[in-house]
Structure 1
Amino acid sequence: MSSNLVLSSKSSASDDTVAVVTGGKRRPVRSDTGWAGRLLANVFLWGYAVVALGPLLLMVNNSFRTQQQIAMEPLGLALPPSLTSFQEAWLTASFDVYFRNSMIVTTGAVLLTTVVSVMAAYGLARARNRWFRGVEAVFLSGLMLPVHLAILPLFYLLDSLRMTSNLFSLILVYGALGIPFSTFVLTVFFRQLPQELEEAARIDGASTARTFVEVLLPLVRPALATVVVFRFVPVWNDFFYPLILMRDPDSYTLPVGLTRFFGEYQTDWPQLFAGLTIATIPLVVLFLLATKQIISGLTSGMSK
């Protein structure tokens, strides 16, 4: 009689396991089908990562090269690396001004959107009056309207108020455009929180404002991080509104400022790649800092 005895087998789409008894001990044996599937998935994911990161690495590499090196060998390595393009882009091409303007506009707009949306979402999530359903529908209607269709009346309004070429006007525009989406996301999170938490806080003598700030806001931190990231990226990269509303070059943001590197007959590629690298750094840092909160916010409510 054979010393090995098969006790059970399990088959699934991702992994096939057979339990075998050898010398009185039970050990799992994985079939080749599950191993091949995992290998294929890893190859696909790593291949996608290489394709996605390839242009980014090429941009960073060429930012450390000279115009002559890029013209002679576009895909060559930056050997030796040069920081001249960064110095020229930051100082000579006024990139420091564009970077500062983008930081002011993006930070102000995201802060305005988050503050207004979190208070509106809490009110809509806890309201029991039927009239608040109409208010919620007004917020949601902002998700269905193409925002670029309002550029003409918006331009005339800001021009009549003499607010063109004003960074504060961009903050107001971006802040208002982000409220519908942010309110929708935060309302869903507030409705998942049990009202017993607020009742317990009131029994302890906490006011509504204190309960909101000290009890509820920490619980919706993943949603806040999701809202901040999802609003920071489009505002930081937006080219349309600064191009239309900003007439003074000193009020340009990074996407509009990058167009200065394009000439009619020649393009300064090292400065352009250096400017793109500088513009990408805040986004990379933001995602590295908020990755955990973003995943928690996107997966909240998916498990019991």
Structure 2
Amino acid sequence: MNHTVYSAMPNPAASHTSESHRAWLGKVRQPMSAGLLHAVLIAYTILALFPIALVIMNSLKSREAIFDDPLALPTAQTLSWIGYDKVLSKANVWLYFGNSSTVTVVSLFCIVLFGAMAAWALTEYKLRINRWLMLYLAFGIMVPIRLGTVSILSLMVKLELVNTLTALVLVYTAQSLPLAVMILSEFIQQIPKELKEAARCDGVGEFRIFFQIILPLIRPAVATVAVFTMIPVWNDLWFPLILAPSDQTQTITLGVQQFLGQFVTDWNAVLAALSLAVLPVLVLYMAFSRQLIKGLTSGAVK
């Protein structure tokens, strides 16, 4: 009887050993999980950057070298600038760059300004219609704008905006506003109410509160919206081809198409033009990367 009771009692030494074993396993698993996560992220980075590196490498090689070994780096024998010479001399590349830059910058300005103002209104002023407006914006995110291409083209024809950059700015602003409002609304809701109430008690108007207090505090969110919006606008081919296909309003993405032929394609010029089109996006992304990371990780750690 005593033996049975003794065997049923817990063993402090065994319990301490199991706890130590679990702690040791936890310490081992943490570096392993972190190493696996870093390996996956590095692999994804290589996978994402490989096509860009491949385009830039082949843009610096002769046509024969491109087809002989597209994965090889340019050498003294294969190095060639003929693609860039053709692009910069025969095509209106600077005009296309100017059109793309104008459309992108103006669209980003309108998206950020109107998106922030709409997000401020929806979060600060509680109205019955707010829920329906948020549902309407959700539909704007879920439904692709390209489904309304025929109606958009008809509207632009009536407004006499075909072959103008204004048509592209209006379309891109309407396309990106729902997502911008959703993102900015979440950030504005995290701003303490006491900060806004203190400003109102000091006699600060609503416009000054918005431009001098709210906008500076949501800079990471603004950078996130800008990056997410900039890349689709800069790389878009659909609406420039439909709404602004003339020689004076072509964007850089549409201008590259003139080097693509049905029977003969000038791959040197195509790759050089694509390389020139990618560089501004990479530079802007690197410039806003810190604010983008802050915007994506905001609220993850308290």
TM-score (ref. length: structure 2): 0.86
> Is there any run of 5+ residues in structure 1 with no aligned partner, and where?
1-5, 18-29
Separation (CA, whole Å) in 2 of partners of 1:179 and 1:286: 21
Aligned position for 1:26: none
Out of 60, 64, 67, the position equivalent to 1:64 is 60
Out of 133, 136, 140, the position equivalent to 1:135 is 133
Map Cα deviations across residues 146-187 of structure 1 (whole Å, 9 max, x no partner): 211111011111112221111111111111111111111111
Aligned position for 2:9: none
Helix, strand or coil: the match of 1:250? Answer: coil
State the Cα RMSD in Å.
2.4
The amino acid across from 2:260 in the alignment is: F
The amino acid across from 2:107 in the alignment is: A
Within the alignment, does 1:166 sit opposite 2:164 as a pair? yes
Identity of aligned residues (%): 34
Q: Residue 141 of structure 1: CA displacement?
A: 2.8
Distance 1:95 1:197, change over 3 A: same
Q: Residue 7 of structure 1: CA displacement?
A: 11
Aligned position for 1:16: 25
Within the alignment, does 1:93 sit opposite 2:102 as a pair? no
Aligned position for 2:240: 242
Q: Residue 205 of structure 1: CA displacement?
A: 2.9
Q: Residue 59 of structure 1: CA displacement?
A: 1.0
Distance 1:197 1:272, change over 3 A: same
> Is there any run of 5+ residues in structure 2 with no aligned partner, and where?
1-16
Distance 1:95 1:126, change over 3 A: same
Aligned position for 2:189: 191
Separation (CA, whole Å) in 1 of partners of 2:185 and 2:107: 20
More strand by share: 1
Aligned position for 2:44: 48
Within the alignment, does 1:290 sit opposite 2:288 as a pair? yes
Give the structure, 1 or 2, with the largest relative contact order (CA under 8 Å, sep 6 or more): 2
Instruction: Report how many aligned residue pairs link the two structures.
Output: 285
More helix by share: 2
Aligned position for 1:207: 205
Q: Residue 266 of structure 1: CA displacement?
A: 1.6
Aligned position for 2:275: 277
Aligned position for 1:23: none
- Report the more deviating stretch, 231-240 or 89-98: 89-98
Helix, strand or coil: the match of 2:299? Answer: coil
Q: Residue 38 of structure 1: CA displacement?
A: 5.1
Aligned position for 1:266: 264
Q: Residue 139 of structure 1: CA displacement?
A: 2.8
Distance 1:181 1:52, change over 3 A: closer
Q: Residue 46 of structure 1: CA displacement?
A: 3.4
Distance 1:185 1:48, change over 3 A: closer
